[in-house]
Amino acid sequence: MESENILEAKQVSVAFRIAGKFQKAIYDIDLSLRRGEVLAIVGESGSGKSTFATAVMGLHNPNQTQITGSILLDDEEVIGKTGDSMASIRGSKVGMIFQNPLTALNPLMKIGQQIKEMLAVHDVYPENQYESRIFQLLEQVGIPNPKRVVNQFPHQLSGGMRQRVMIAIAIANDPDLIIADEPTTALDVTIQAQILDLILEVQKKKNAGVILITHDLGVVAEVADTVAVMYAGQLVEKASVEEIFQNPK
Ligand SMILES: Nc1ncnc2c1ncn2[C@@H]1O[C@H](COP(=O)(O)OP(=O)(O)OP(=O)(O)O)[C@@H](O)[C@H]1O
Ligand SMILES: [Mg+2]
């Protein structure tokens, strides 16, 4: 049976090695997320939002980080997993849309190839379906000319198109959890609205959970079910979006 919570984080702390010593960036984070739920994480710059998301993705460098606590993704423990075992969870259970697509996309690889690599890490789609899946994804994220775009490099696309490509990669294997770390900050307002709609459309199709990291309280009010507030590495409040806006602590 599927567990009701797609994510259950308990007492998660992350420390970075700085000048030879480990210093905690986030402390004792408890946070859970149901399937179908949209959770916004807000908090000032440096409060630890991306550090938490990166821990859920298992993307911290194990030599430079100490992570303690428990992060269950669909009942499977993520902390302590590295290499291949983490790669097989990443992408099939959880997909991430990063703040800056230019750093997340490989500048030397054509778009079609990058999506194909994501499909190839997992067995969700068989190899003979890769090509049709790539075109299906590019259409789903609203790329106007997929036949041309598969053969282009990231720098040949506009910011909005790159962000769409990143969403295509993040959802390529139908993940149960989508993490979007400020997915629209670098985009103009109309494109921002389109990208958010797109993330929610994908989310509804699969009843996926979404973690949306954002500074934009208008976006939070519009799309989130629940809001978690981080401050100085700690989670200081979690409440429904109605409670947060009516009675903020
Ligand atoms: N790789 C790293 N090595 C050392 N320290 C780091 C690393 N990544 C983050 N930090 C530190 O951890 C703290 C939390 O940073 P983080 O990037 O998670 O904040 P954030 O809430 O995502 O901020 P922003 O809103 O600016 O994106 C900061 O003090 C930051 O300097
Ligand atoms: Mg961040």
Q: All domains of the chain, ordered by start, with CATH?
A: 5-246 (3.40.50.300)
Ligand 1: residues with CB < 6 A are 16, 18, 25, 43, 45-51
Q: Which residue has the higher pLDDT, 60 or 187?
A: 60
CA–CA dist 49, 47 (Å, integer): 6
Nearest one of 176, 145, 175 to 164, comparing CA atoms: 145
Once rounded to an integer, what is the mean pLDDT over residues 192-212?
Answer: 88
**Maximum CA pair distance of the chain?**
53
Among the bound ligands, the one closest to the CA of 14: 1
Q: Which residue has the higher pLDDT, 64 or 87?
A: 64
Q: What is the pLDDT of residues 172-192, one digit of tens each?
A: 998 999 999 988 777 777 777
Confidence of residue 2 (pLDDT cuts 50, 70, 90): low
Beta-bridged to residue 234, according to DSSP, are 231
Q: Is the pLDDT of residue 49 over 80?
A: yes
- Which amino acid would we find at residue 145? N
Q: Is the pLDDT of residue 237 over 70?
A: yes
To the nearest 10 degrees (0 to 180), the angle between helices 111-121 and 159-170 is 20
User: CA of 146: how far to CAs of 124, 158, 183, 191, 217, in Å?
Assistant: 22, 14, 21, 18, 34
Once rounded to an integer, what is the mean pLDDT over residues 148-176?
Answer: 93
What pLDDT is stored for residue 91 in this prediction?
78
Mutate to test the pocket of ligand 1, among 44, 50, 181 (most ligand atoms within 8 A of CB): 50
Beta-bridged to residue 229, according to DSSP, are 42, 237
CB 139 within 8 A of CB 164: no
| Token pair for 130 | 């890769």
- Taking the centre of ligand 2 as the mean of its atom positions, its distance from the CA of residue 48, in whole angstroms, is 7
What pLDDT is stored for residue 1 in this prediction?
56
pTM, two decimals, is 0.91
